[in-house]
Structures are given as structure tokens and as C-alpha cells.
Amino acid sequence: MALPSHTPLNYKIWHYTYLFFCGLVFFFLIAPLFVILPLSFNAEQYIHFSAKMLALDPEGFSLRWYEDMIYGTKNPWGLATKNSLIIAFFATIGSTILGTVAALGLSSRYMPYKAAFMALLISPMIVPLIISGTAIFFFMAKVGLAATHTGIVLSHIILGTPFVVITVTATLTGFDHSVTRAAASLGSNPVNTFMKITLPLIMPGVISGALFAFVTSFDEVVVVLFLAGLENTTIPIQMWVGLREQLSPTIMAVATCLIIMSTLILVSAELLRRRSERLRGINR
Amino acid sequence: MSKEQILSSDGLPLEVSLKKAERKNKLKAVALVAPLFLFILIIYIFPIGDMLFRSVDDRMITKMLPKTFAAMEKWDGQDLPEEPVYKGLYEDLSYLKKTKTYGKIIARLNYEKGGFSSLIKKTVRKINKFEEGNYKEQFIKVHKRWGQSEYLVALKNTAPNWSYAKYLKGIDRKFDQDRNIIQVPEDRRIHKTLWLRTLNVAFWVTIFCFILAYPISHLLATLPMKYSNLLMICVLLPFWTSLLVRTSSWMVLLQQQGPINDLIVWIGLAADDNRPELMYNVIGTFVAMTQILLPFMVLPLYSVMKTISPSLMRAGKSLGGTPLVSFVKIYFPLTIPGIGAGCLLVFILAIGYYITPALVGGASGSLISNTIAYHMKSSLDWAFASALGTMLLVGVLTIYWIYNKLVGIDNIKLG
């Protein structure tokens, strides 16, 4: 952002102070994530930058913590990863289907009490997790689903649907309903119309909602803390337990893997958002 | 001239036919929403209702000592009760001893009045030696407290099925002997501090987030697309990254031998052997929560600023306004919806935060959520946890309601 040469000095100072401040804020946002990466390659078992690391000596770095993460017997990261993936997979499918169907109804012109229903369906996102966790725990304990995958999946569906509802309703706001009417007038039944016409058009919104639901479930720790038994441990639970004891380099290794994963998810979400905007004809 | 009716193809008047079609559409829309609605109702809304119920439910003692309470109905609660009450108590306690379930009532009664714990334990231990008849005398012989009316009054006070005592405890108040509401002793008033701290942290985190987010949202909204997309990654990457990863990175940064402390020592603000505690106190909670919640402030601000045409500021300047005046009079008022949305969202999220305060907050930086978790998992006072949860829920729903009025929940934007 270059300023014209005739800008008075005090404005220039203002402008560069503003840019400098913005730079600091961006640094504050992103830098903490990058502290973790080098530390996960630390050859020593303490969480700080050793002299050898600072001198970029190859001996200061090692992959031993990644080895420990995969083969280590003390930390059940393998079981945790398996559980996390299974739970997140089913929770994503559940919230995506329920959320998309509900969003279709909510976007209909004819839906009565739209705002009230919307407020209710979004509420799991707003209500503090500790309250959701407490309430869901009481329920699951009562129906005998505490410490089961099913119980965790059901509660993650609850927590994931608001995101799907929001993203799909947002996609549907620009939706041209005459295309579905055209399909109907050509003799297509509603299910066929939905599968062939509506779904492909709202797909970007559905997938980005699904990504949100996946991340919500994959990252969720409070509700799982209440519900999980030893068999249901997940990656966030293992991290939580590890962090409460002490910072270990293995956790840094796991965190690095998670950062890489979130980068991939971010890229796909961004691409989807742009595609969705293009499909809806929103050009910025 | 008679009024002509327009008929639709199936012979019905158009108006009727239209209404029929609309009703059908309405039903269709409701049917689509119904599955999720029912799902949330059963697994989410009912359980929250159940939580409310648990917070006021006080039937346990009444259920476990049924004969005692039946006999107590005839007692005026003044002098010592007559023989039937003691007889009931004997029968109830022997039953509880036989089923080994008397442990439950001890905690509840001891909360009502200190001293009940040893009283019940001693009585239960000797209850097998009781002889038939004249129970009153035998009870008083086992423990003299059975002959003091205040213990029996306290027992009678637990008779109502519903009690809001847990809510009083949540605001550091309790019932005294005569059912008056009094404050608990000064050194026990921990919950008031906790509520104030929670509000304080949520408030300041919101303010910090706003101060940091406003300039960068403005920059993101005014830069050309290709730069702003790049910078947007700085906002979105933390947003998509696991909360535990971000918290652990703050634990690395803020620890005593961590980079920030190294920097402080290197600059010379503190001696190497006297490194400041940045973690396990309220500082850690503030710093980490601000960074973690910052994206939730940037995104709504950005989406509002994006819609403000730059020509408005240029018009302001061309009419003689200095940049400051144009900003205050034109730009800032236009961003108020974004400010409202962002601040309410961050405040709502901050007030119920649990993971981050638990890991970096220590004792002085823990919030109300941490106390709820403590009572759920450690002290197992679920009724109290429910009461605190309900109080927090009411607060959050109030803000949610305001948010809905001001911003409209259908305007929530994600990424």
C-alpha cells in the first residue's frame, strides 16, 4: 500500500503505525503455531530450543518423537487416532444429512416460525460446551450409552449440525428455485430433482458444512471427557491428558500432524468457498 | 352482476386451491426440519431440561427416610418430637444399614447442618443393638445430639421435594436454622469471586479482541484480493486448528523457560533467576484466550467492512473531512453491526470457556466452567454442577437473545 508522494508527514506516520500494528497482530495470530514445529524435531526431551537447535546443528534434530508417537507403548495414540476417525466419520455423515435436510426446510418460503426453529437448531453452537457436556452426560448415562462410541457419535452430531445448517442455508439464499420447478414440470419426482438438480448446486455448502462438522467432532474434547471410557479415548483426550501432566515432545509431534491436517482442511474449505461463490454468481 | 369465481383445473375455486397448495408446501418444509428438530429435542433440549430438574430436585432424603418424614408431619417442629418419629427413624436407618446405602444421606444432611456425619455414622453402627420400644431414649443414649431439637429441625427442613439451596450456594448464600437466607462466612465466598472473574475475563478478552481485530479486518477488507487472501490465511489457519494444539503452543511460549520469558530476560526486564510467572495464572488465560478467539472477531468485522464502499471515505474527504473525522462519522458507524456481532460472539464463547483456562489458567485463572467440571468429575455434587450450569446457561441465552435481536442468527457467517 504505497502512499502518494504528497501525503503529509503526520498521515504517513499514522499509516505506517497502522501497518506496523496490523503486522504485529498477524504475527500474534500465526506465530504461536510455528513454535511447535521445530520443537517436535527436538533431539532432547525438554520443550525448549536447545543450543544445538539454535545453531542449526543436525545433531540437535531427530525424528524420535514421531517414532514414539507411532510405536511408543506408553501413549495409545494409535487407538486414539482410530477412535477419533471413526467417531468423526459417523458424526460428519449424521450431521451433514440431518443438517442439510433441515436447511432445505428452513430455506423454504413456507416454513412457519422460521426464526424460532433456526435459533433452536443453532443453539448447540452457542451453549457453552461444559453445559452441553453435563446435560448430554446425564442423558447418555440414563439410556446406557455412556462410554460407548454410539453415545459420543450422537452427541457430536448435535454439536456439528449447526455448522451444516448455517453453511447450507447460506448457499441456499442465492438458490434459484425455478430450476427445481423446471425439473418438476419435466416430470421429475422430488427425490430425483433433489439428487440431480438441487444437491449438485448446493454441494459446496454441504461439503464445507461437512468439513466444519468433521473438525468439530475431531477436535471436540469437553463432551468426550464426560462420556469417554478408556476404550473410547480420542486424540484430543490424549492431548488433554498429556498436557495436564507435562508438556512432552511427543505431544508436539502430534500437534504438528494436526497443524498439517488443519492446513489441508483450510485449503479445501477455501477452494470450496470460492467455487460456491462462483456457482452462485457472486463476484467480488 | 354476480361475482365470478375463477376455477382451477381441478374444479376448485382458485383461492381454495392455492391455500391447499400452500398448506402442502408448509407441511413439506416442516417435515424436512422435523428429523433434526426431534433429534435435538430428544438428545439435547430434554437433557438440558433434566439438568434444570436435577438442580432443584431434593427428594433423596425424603425417599430414603420415608417413615421418619411420615411421622414428622404431626410434629410442630418446636420441642423434641415424640416416639413415632424416632420409631420411624429406627426403621429407616436399619433398612439403610441392611442395604448399605446410608452413605448417600450423610453428605446431604451434613450439608444441611454440620455434625450430622458423625451422628448418623455412630447411630448406624449401634443400631443393631437397639431393643424394641422406647426408641427415643435409646437414640439419645447413642448420641446426645438426637436430644437436641436443632438437629431434628434440620432434618425436617430437608422435607420439601424441591429446593433452590444449590442456587443460593452458587451466589455464596445459604439457609440458616430458621430458613432465612444469609451470606456464607467471608472466607467461604468463592463463587462470587468466580462469577466476577469469569465476567471480567470475558469482558476484557472481548475488548482486546476488538482492539486487535478492528485494524486487521480493515486492512483485509481494503487490500487488493491477492494480498488479502494471503493474509486471510493467518486468520483462518488458527481458526481451523485444534483448540488443544493452540493451547499447547501457548503453554510452550509462556512456560518459565519458554521463548517469551527468554526474551524478557534478554531485554533485561527481569533477572534470569527471577523469571515472571506468565502461565498458571490469569495472565495466561487472558493472552491465550485472546489469540484463540481473535478469528471469531475478525470474520464478522471483515464481512461487514467488505460491503462498505471505499468511495464513501473518499466522498467524506472531498467534502473537507480530515481522515479522522471521516472515519469517526462515516466508516465507524457503518461497521457497528459487525462490531456487535463479533463482540457478542466472542463474549458468549469466552464466558463458557473451559479447556484453555483449565490448562494455562491455574487456580487464579480458572473460570466458572472449570468449577462446573470440578463438581461433575471430582466432588460429584451433580446437583450443584447443574445449578451453576443453569445459571451460566441463563446468562448465555440472554446474550444469545440480544444477539438474535440485534444481528439475527441467520446472519452468522463462517469463513
CA distance A16 to A3: 10
Res B1: pLDDT? 46
CB–CB contact B251 A161 (8 Å) = no
A159 close to A223: Cβ distance less than 8 angstroms: yes
Res A48: pLDDT? 74
- Domains in chain B (CATH in brackets) are 60-161 (no CATH), 190-411 (1.10.3720.10)
Closest residue to B252, CB basis, from A134, A226, A247? A247
Alpha helix stretches (DSSP H) within chain A: 9-40, 51-54, 64-71, 77-106, 114-126, 129-143, 149-173, 178-185, 190-193, 199-219, 222-227, 235-245, 249-279
**Residue in A with minimal Cα distance to B242:** A219
CA angle (B237 as vertex; B235, B242 as ends), nearest 5: 120
Res B195: pLDDT? 93
Inform me whether the pLDDT recorded for A174 exceeds 80: no
ipTM value of the model? 0.86
Res A160: pLDDT? 94
- Domains in chain A (CATH in brackets) are 82-279 (1.10.3720.10)
- Residues in CB range of B110: below 8 A, 6 or more apart: B116, B117
- Looking at beta carbons, which residues of chain A come within 8 Å of B31? 105
- Partner A, chain B 251-280, Cβ-Cβ below 8 Å: 251-253, 255, 257-259
pLDDT tens track, chain B, 415 positions: 455 677 777 778 888 888 888 898 899 999 999 999 999 999 999 999 999 998 888 888 888 888 888 888 878 777 788 788 888 888 888 888 888 877 778 877 877 777 888 888 888 888 888 887 788 888 888 888 888 878 888 888 777 778 888 888 888 888 776 777 888 887 778 888 899 999 999 999 999 999 999 999 999 998 888 888 888 888 889 988 999 999 999 998 888 888 888 888 888 888 878 888 888 888 889 999 999 999 999 988 998 888 888 888 888 888 888 888 888 888 888 888 888 888 988 999 999 899 999 898 888 888 899 999 999 988 888 889 999 999 999 999 998 888 778 776 656 655 4
Question: Which has the minimum average pLDDT: A73-77, A235-239, B204-208?
Answer: A73-77
Res B270: pLDDT? 80
- B3 in helix, strand or coil? coil
Compute chain B's Rg from CA coordinates.
Answer: 32
Res A283: pLDDT? 44
Closest residue to B249, CB basis, from A26, A32, A157? A32
Name the average pLDDT for chain A. 86
More confident: B175 or A255: A255
**Residue in A with minimal Cα distance to B359:** A244
CA distance A18 to A40: 35
More confident: B62 or A100: A100
A·B CB contacts under 8 A: 273
A102 close to B33: Cβ distance less than 8 angstroms: yes
Nearest-CA distance from B187 to chain A in Å?
A: 27
- Partner A, chain B 16-75, Cβ-Cβ below 8 Å: 22, 25-26, 28-37, 39-40, 43-48, 50-51, 54
Inform me whether the pLDDT recorded for A282 exceeds 80: no
- Looking at beta carbons, which residues of chain B come within 8 Å of A165? 36
CB–CB contact B414 A131 (8 Å) = no
Question: Cell numbers of A103, please?
Answer: 436447511
pTM, 2 dp: 0.85
More confident: B157 or A165: A165
**DSSP label of B269:** S
